[in-house]
C-alpha cells in the first residue's frame, strides 16, 4: 500500500527560489532511492482564511481556528511549505528513507547555508485512508 511522508516547514519568503532549488536536489535523491513522487506546496497566504474551511454560519472567536502558520510558529516573513513524498509501499519507504538520509548528497547539505531551520520541520508518514479523484 502506498505511503506518503508529509513535511511542513516555514521558509523565509525571500528564499523561495533557494528553497525550490534545494528541494529539487533532495527530490532527486529520494527518487533515486525509490520515492515515486515528490510534491512541494508553497502557501498562498492571501488565498483565503480559516472561514473558507468551515460551514457558513458557524462563529468562532479570535484565535480559535489556527492555521498552519500559527501551529508551526511561522513569522509574517515566512511561508509554509508542505511536501509530500510518495512511496510505493511501507517497505520501500523504510529502505528508501534510510538510504536517502545517509546519502552523501544529503550529508553534504549539512555544510551549506541552510535555506530553512530544520529544527522546525514537522513530519510524519501517512497511509491513504480515502481518495476521490475526478
Determine the average pLDDT of the residues in 115-132: 94
| 57 domain residue, yes or no | no
Q: Is the whole model's pTM more than 0.75, yes or no?
A: yes
| 86 domain residue, yes or no | yes
Would you list the DSSP string of 27-77?
Answer: HHHHHHTT--EEEEEE--TTS--GGGGS-TT----TTSS--HHHHHT--TT
| 40 domain residue, yes or no | yes
Residue 115 has pLDDT above 90, yes or no: yes
| 68 domain residue, yes or no | yes
pLDDT tens per residue across span 49-105: 666 666 776 777 777 777 888 888 899 999 999 999 999 999 999 999 999 999 999
Looking from the CA of 67 toward its CB, the CA atoms found within 13 Å total: 22
| 54 domain residue, yes or no | no
Higher pLDDT, 27 or 44: 27
| 56 domain residue, yes or no | no
How high is the pLDDT of residue 47?
67
Q: How many independent structural domains does the chain possess?
A: 1
Which domain covers residue 69, as residue numbers?
Answer: 3-45+63-127
CATH at residue 12: 3.30.70.100
Amino acid at each position: 500500500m502506498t505511503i506518503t511522508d508529509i513535511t511542513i516547514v516555514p521558509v523565509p519568503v525571500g528564499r523561495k527560489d533557494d528553497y525550490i532549488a534545494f528541494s529539487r536536489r533532495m527530490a532527486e535523491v529520494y527518487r533515486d532511492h525509490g520515492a515515486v513522487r515528490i510534491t512541494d506546496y508553497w502557501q498562498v497566504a492571501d488565498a483565503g482564511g480559516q472561514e473558507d474551511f468551515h460551514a457558513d454560519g458557524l462563529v468562532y472567536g479570535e484565535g480559535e481556528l489556527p492555521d498552519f502558520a500559527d501551529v508551526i510558529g511561522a513569522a509574517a516573513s515566512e511561508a509554509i511549505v508542505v511536501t509530500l513524498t510518495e512511496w510505493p509501499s511501507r517497505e520501500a519507504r523504510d529502505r528508501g528513507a534510510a538510504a536517502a538520509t545517509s546519502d552523501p548528497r544529503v550529508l553534504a547539505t549539512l555544510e551549506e547555508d541552510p535555506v530553512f531551520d530544520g529544527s522546525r520541520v514537522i513530519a510524519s508518514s501517512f497511509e491513504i485512508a480515502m481518495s476521490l479523484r475526478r
